[in-house]
Amino acid sequence: MFSKACEYGIRAVLFIAKESQKDLRPNIAEISKAVDSPVPFTAKICQQLARAGIILSKKGPNGGFYLKKDSELKLIDIVAAIDGYSIFDGCCLGLAECSSSHPCPVHDQFMDIRGGLKDMCENTTVIGLAMDLNEGETYLKV
């Protein structure tokens, strides 16, 4: 459902959040390896996320990317920064004219899925997911 950039962006932010809890600031190479993403693509995504204020960066020998300790970041913030809100509002078939009065073939079925996805993104915190990663309950790659 998410673009490839958004998938990698979510994974990158989760890894950065996990490392931030240990007072570490991973660099692009470390993030790329941890989320199994090409280095140039990871760099582009991290730049986009930093410009949006999702992640922070520090330059220099002890530099890298990090999140604020008290971050209340939610998944929807990452999705909005990379893919925008169209995934929650647009037609799943990409039609320009899709609505309840002029539905595409899967409009009604997709409404429930889209609503559930938006609800999950609005109510899921990055820190909560990072804590699951730190405890070994979830994984970013196989």
Report d(CA 30, CA 52) in Å as an integer: 21
Quote the tokens at residue 16: 């950065």
The 10s digit of each residue's pLDDT in 65-120 is 999 888 899 999 999 999 998 888 888 888 888 888 999 999 988 888 889 999 99
What's the pLDDT at 134? 83
Domain ranges of the chain: 4-134
pTM of this prediction? 0.90
CATH of 4-134, one of 1.10.10.10, 3.20.20.450, 3.40.50.300, 3.30.360.10: 1.10.10.10
Number of alpha carbons in the 13 Å side-chain half-sphere of residue 54: 28
Q: Would the pLDDT of 126 be above 80?
A: yes
Q: Which of 100, 83, 97 is nearest to 48 (CA)?
A: 83
The 10s digit of each residue's pLDDT in 15-29 is 999 999 999 999 999
What's the pLDDT at 64? 96
